[in-house]
Structure 1
Amino acid sequence: MTKPSEESSQGSTVDAKKSYISKLPNEITKDEIDDTSDFTQEKVPAKLGFSGRFAEFRDSFKRFDLGELDPNLSDLEKANIIASRSPLQRKLKSRHIQMIAIGGAIGTGLFVGSGTALASGGPASLIISYLLTGIMIFCTVQALGELAVAFPVAGSFLSMCSRFVSPAWGFVISWNYAMQWLIVMPLELVAASLTINYWHSNVSPAVWVTIFYVCILVVNIFGVKGYGEVEYWLSVIKVIAIVGFCILGIILNCGGGPKGGYIGGKFYHNPGAFNHGFKGLCAVFVTAAFSFAGTELVGLASAETENPSKTLPSASKQVVWRIFGFYLISLTIVGLLVPYNDPRLLTANSLSATASPFVISIENAGISVLPSIFNAVILISLISVANSAVFGCSRTIASLADQGFAPKIFGYIDRMGRPIMGIALSMLVGLICYLSVSPKESEAFAWLMALSGLSSVITWATICLSHIRFRQAMKAQGRSIEELSFTALSGVAGSWFGLGLNVVVLGVQFWVALFPLGGKPNPTSFFENYLNSVVNVALFAFYLLWKRRKSIIWIHAKDMDLTTGRRDVDIELVKQERAEQKAFMASKPWWYRTYKFWC
């Protein structure tokens, strides 16, 4: 019989061996290690040396093996299985998702683009358009939350579009979404370099875009955890800045600034609440949609979230705080402080922070230092959105490859869960940012923006349609919504509203593009505002020619796959948890119930 001390010694030796093996480079297997007796606590190194860490870093870029797939499966079935097996690492914590939901997409659209919107439609049009768009966004994110919790797979709404609508439209929307983020990244870097010119910098824009470019590359090399941590702190800064502006704006409106003087609502009377009438209101809708772009990234991150079933429902609810607390309140204050006919709103470069109504309102109050501080916040916001663009694009490119819509090499995901080829493509296209030193910069970026201008609107419409079709499939296949651990607060009705409003936005944008404000119809103006829709029609036609007889235009509800990648749910346990939660909430005061309903 072995003595206890010997057993203890032997056990510790085995543990030491296992610990050492786990720290070795991945190509060294257990079979290549000698007998257990050779491993003692004294022989186990405290940490890997430089060569070991370098080998570990090098091997992290090796491809993650997804295993074999049945060759007899259809393209759609293969795509669903690959999405469910995704090696993307679940490293985003609750605080990352919460802050990304609240402030992750706040950037150029709000801080700078709102100036163009104010000049086009006036302060009343600004509030009406952002309010309706905000309600639509809330319904869309709720629908996305329900789908993402039920199917926390790679590609999120992109792969679910192919599953619940059709592979044909999935091809279009995936490339449309990828193209959006491919273009946003260099645009934001150029806008960041122009923002620095607020301080009258004599340094070439190429220097600044290089610095920002390298920083974003480094962040994404650290994987999703690096992205989440950076976005968390950048979002905190943006949220603090907006809250501070709202407080300051109320003080300035009441005459508390250095220049003094009560402002109130005088700019609603002179020059007026509306500009360009109904057409001006319609023109603001597109700017409002651009301002909310990126809200859907919460759903795209579901495959890399530690506990999506608990984190995503809360995050999808908190979008309402961003809509009403940050957008509507701040823009209401902006409309009170800056008249829509202020020449700085339109004469300044549209990508520059000098056109920001936030900065203009502070300058009008005679505050000398604060405009520079807020300009720095705008710079941070631009870098944040550029960083999010690389995250969104790389995941979209990987999803395209998984669905068979792009070369398989783009589906390369390494052992750290990084979609390396997607990141590489995004950074490669990002080199367009060096057009900032070209004399044709404005013209080039106007056409780049045209390629992705309506992308977000089409994406949101597709998310709402996917949710509607998912519920139709549940009903057609005799499934109950009791199986869902989270259901959209807005229900199917909210998705119909979101789908309808997005279609209306596409319609009014066609009208404004065809008959521009203050001008006559011309091809250049039309395609600068509506080129994205033309590209989507071309993508759809290409898919039909590519797949020919294999193309699937529409999937019937009874044929939809409601199983692959589905989160395992114990229906009886879900019902029990709901009953306990209802009883718990009933015992709480009304203010607590209200808080938990929206948070």
Structure 2
Amino acid sequence: MDEKMTRSHSYSTSTSRGASPYYGESSSHKDSFPQRLIDSFKRDPTSYAISKGTITADGKLFDVESAAQNTAESPLARRLKGRHLQMIAIGGSIGTGLFVGTGSALAAGGPASLIIAYGIIGIMMYCTVQALGEMAVLFPVAGSFSAYSTRFLDPAWGFAMGWNYAFQWLVVLPLEIVAASLTIEFWNHGRINSNAWVAIFLFLVVVINLFGVKGYGEAEFVFSIVKVTAIIGFIILGIILNIGGGPDGTYIGNRYWRDPGGLHNGFKGVCSVFVTAAFAFAGTELVGLAAAETANPRKSLPTAVKQVFWRITLFYIVSLVLVGLLVPYNDPRLLHGKSSADASASPFVIAIQNAGIEGLPSVMNVVIMIAVLSVGNSAVFGSSRTLAALAEQGQAPRFLAYIDRKGRPIVSIGIAVALGLLAFLAGTNKQENAFDWMIAISGLSSIFTWGSICLAHIRFRKGWQVQGHSLDELAFHSQPGTLGSWLGFIINVLILIAQFWVGIAPVGYESMSSSDLAREFFQLYLAVPIVLLFYIPYKLIYRTPFVRSHSMDLHTGIRELNLAELIQEERREMAAWPRWKKVYKFFC
């Protein structure tokens, strides 16, 4: 490998984050627990060196090199292990998008539209996460994909993508807390005000995140096991119910594909499902964001990235095929409830209710409640880490880069939790409007994030080649390669075009007023003007250049100093594996 690739970095890899007394241990064993707790919130001493801005002396030009250095040296704690990453990859983002949102999607497009839209998004996600995995294994830096956009595309675009992603998760937190409180209505029926449940759920999310990245990882490990077990159980139950093994013994087969049918509202019905599908898959990229806080991303991340394919195939596609077989798209309960967050509109719950199985709908609602809490937990993690990384690059207020001695971006976590208070709108008559606009902000945000990841990977590969490197020097490289990244990028662009069409001419637009049409458009397309409002002014003010292949920084942030030797050693070990193990490791 090029000598530059193995040059010494300004931080030592031999000292893992968490081994220092500043990461959860008192420098004095005589200190009491309250004192140690108070001290843990003090600023990490190493963060002083990197909290400086990255705007040059004239105040106009962006310093890409300093930004890369700051994200590489972020004092975030590196405590996530392989099992945490794998469960985050397998079930970390499964929430209302799959369990509840598929109800309105099924009603809008029918079961065929559901499979087509989720299938296309699934193919794109496979390509995207593979591309992200390649970059994150080599550069496990704070901010991950937004930092890659700054480093490999354009600092202004990285700024826009960072804030786009932060806003997405900042609104998802209250969104999921509201959804969890609505899930309680399955049993509560209005006896206790929704805001009481909001307070409880928000408190749980705050407590989990105060335990730092290890708390987030352990919580997601447990939550994901519950969600994965529930989906596998539903798949087995769905097959049994479909072939006539339910209490009434009625064979269903493809009855609902014939009447009322497989497609609803034609091609426009398919297009209308894309936003719901994107919302359901949002969070899949968190496995890349977590790389900066992983003890050994070179070992853990490739396995976690490969797990995403199986999650898409098994948990999304197979379960949605069964949902489409068990629930007709014209079932009125699919659009029932105060909003699309109401778990009573979940096709998973409706399928079990149709079978007449007592008790199981309540079990499924418990799973949905756990799922939405899991995504709320991920929302705090995703938004806080992104805000802190933006601040470290000089693209957000400096105080957001405050990282305490436990490796927590505590100020950014506080901002996320403060915006989580919007969830108390659940107890007001503005609940439905608030929920709809939160979805509008977060809906297409993921499309921009995923498209940027694919484009950043394409540019990274070009720079890697131009600067004289080969794929053999990469510890992990994307299985579909740059062709997969081009496919992912094109699919994201096509989805944006399809959503523009659906936005200006939604299903049933002939009978809608002009004000309703405008509302429908902005609820579908609000993320686009938000991204442009961040990108264009920043581009004009700081005159950021598009990053050229020959000038890309391909060195800063590589954690292992002897990466070339480690890769060669691992490949010698792999050559000695039996064939079955090679096949298994390729897929898993």
TM-score by length of 2: 0.91
User: Partner of 1:234 in structure 2?
Assistant: 223
User: Partner of 2:45 in structure 1?
Assistant: 65
1:64, 1:413 within 8 Å by CA — same for their partners in 2? yes
Give 1:130's match in structure 2, choosing from 80, 98, 118: 118
User: Partner of 1:35 in structure 2?
Assistant: none
Paired with 2:44 and 2:111, the residues of 1 have a C-alpha distance of: 52
Q: CA RMSD in A?
A: 2.0
How far has the Cα of 1:554 moved from its partner? 1.1
User: Partner of 1:425 in structure 2?
Assistant: 415
How far has the Cα of 1:68 moved from its partner? 3.9
Q: Deviations over 1:84-136 (max 9, x none)?
A: 11111111111111111001100000000111111111111111111111111
User: Partner of 1:15 in structure 2?
Assistant: none
User: Partner of 2:473 in structure 1?
Assistant: 483
Instruction: After superposing the two structures, state which structure 1 stretch, 428-437 or 60-69, moved more.
Output: 60-69
How far has the Cα of 1:594 moved from its partner? 2.8
Distance 1:579 1:436, change over 3 A: closer
Paired with 1:61 and 1:583, the residues of 2 have a C-alpha distance of: 48
Q: Any idea what SS the aligned residue of 1:363 has?
A: helix
Equivalences for 1:137-286 in 2 at 5 Å? 137-201=125-189, 202-286=191-275
Matched, 1:316 2:311: no
Paired with 2:573 and 2:119, the residues of 1 have a C-alpha distance of: 32
1:482, 1:571 within 8 Å by CA — same for their partners in 2? no
How far has the Cα of 1:518 moved from its partner? 1.5
1:145, 1:488 within 8 Å by CA — same for their partners in 2? yes
How far has the Cα of 1:555 moved from its partner? 1.0
Matched, 1:534 2:522: no
Paired with 1:56 and 1:330, the residues of 2 have a C-alpha distance of: 47
How far has the Cα of 1:551 moved from its partner? 2.1
Q: Deviations over 1:267-304 (max 9, x none)?
A: 11100010000111111122111110000000000011
Give 2:381's match in structure 1, choosing from 367, 378, 391: 391
Matched, 1:588 2:583: no
Q: Any idea what SS the aligned residue of 1:371 has?
A: helix
2:276, 2:443 within 8 Å by CA — same for their partners in 1? no
Paired with 2:125 and 2:24, the residues of 1 have a C-alpha distance of: 46
How far has the Cα of 1:567 moved from its partner? 3.1
2:208, 2:216 within 8 Å by CA — same for their partners in 1? yes
Paired with 1:347 and 1:55, the residues of 2 have a C-alpha distance of: 52
Q: Any idea what SS the aligned residue of 1:339 has?
A: coil
Paired with 1:63 and 1:99, the residues of 2 have a C-alpha distance of: 30
How far has the Cα of 1:20 moved from its partner? 12
Paired with 1:20 and 1:328, the residues of 2 have a C-alpha distance of: 47
1:64, 1:87 within 8 Å by CA — same for their partners in 2? yes
Runs of 5+ unmatched residues, structure 2: 1-19
Paired with 2:21 and 2:535, the residues of 1 have a C-alpha distance of: 53
Runs of 5+ unmatched residues, structure 1: 1-18, 29-46
Distance 1:365 1:539, change over 3 A: same
How far has the Cα of 1:583 moved from its partner? 2.5
Matched, 1:342 2:322: no
Amino acid at match of 1:558: H
Amino acid at match of 1:104: G
Matched, 1:53 2:33: yes
User: Partner of 1:559 in structure 2?
Assistant: 551
Give 2:458's match in structure 1, choosing from 468, 474, 480: 468
Higher relative contact order (CA 8 A, sep 6+): 2
2:349, 2:361 within 8 Å by CA — same for their partners in 1? yes
Matched, 1:80 2:68: yes
Paired with 2:546 and 2:177, the residues of 1 have a C-alpha distance of: 39
2:23, 2:407 within 8 Å by CA — same for their partners in 1? no
Q: Spell out structure 1 runs of 4+ moving beyond 6 A.
A: 19-24, 69-73
Paired with 2:138 and 2:182, the residues of 1 have a C-alpha distance of: 43
Amino acid at match of 1:580: R
Paired with 1:511 and 1:165, the residues of 2 have a C-alpha distance of: 28
Q: Deviations over 1:233-282 (max 9, x none)?
A: 01000000000000000010011111221000011110001000011111
Q: Deviations over 1:152-183 (max 9, x none)?
A: 11111111110000100001000000000000
Equivalences for 1:335-484 in 2 at 5 Å? 335-348=324-337, 349-484=339-474
How far has the Cα of 1:579 moved from its partner? 4.4
Paired with 1:419 and 1:441, the residues of 2 have a C-alpha distance of: 30
Query: What fraction of aligned residue pairs are identical, expressed as a percent?
Result: 53
Paired with 1:232 and 1:273, the residues of 2 have a C-alpha distance of: 36
1:513, 1:526 within 8 Å by CA — same for their partners in 2? yes
User: Partner of 1:294 in structure 2?
Assistant: 283
1:140, 1:464 within 8 Å by CA — same for their partners in 2? yes
Matched, 1:98 2:86: yes
Amino acid at match of 2:73: R
Amino acid at match of 2:456: S
How far has the Cα of 1:475 moved from its partner? 1.3
User: Partner of 1:120 in structure 2?
Assistant: 108
2:223, 2:370 within 8 Å by CA — same for their partners in 1? yes
Q: How many residues align?
A: 554
1:161, 1:466 within 8 Å by CA — same for their partners in 2? yes
Q: Deviations over 1:291-325 (max 9, x none)?
A: 10000000000011111001000000010110011
2:71, 2:392 within 8 Å by CA — same for their partners in 1? yes
Paired with 1:479 and 1:157, the residues of 2 have a C-alpha distance of: 22
User: Partner of 1:12 in structure 2?
Assistant: none
Q: Any idea what SS the aligned residue of 2:509 has?
A: coil
User: Partner of 2:77 in structure 1?
Assistant: 89
Amino acid at match of 1:154: A
Q: Any idea what SS the aligned residue of 1:562 has?
A: coil
Paired with 1:415 and 1:139, the residues of 2 have a C-alpha distance of: 37
How far has the Cα of 1:544 moved from its partner? 3.0
Distance 1:518 1:227, change over 3 A: same
Paired with 2:72 and 2:155, the residues of 1 have a C-alpha distance of: 17
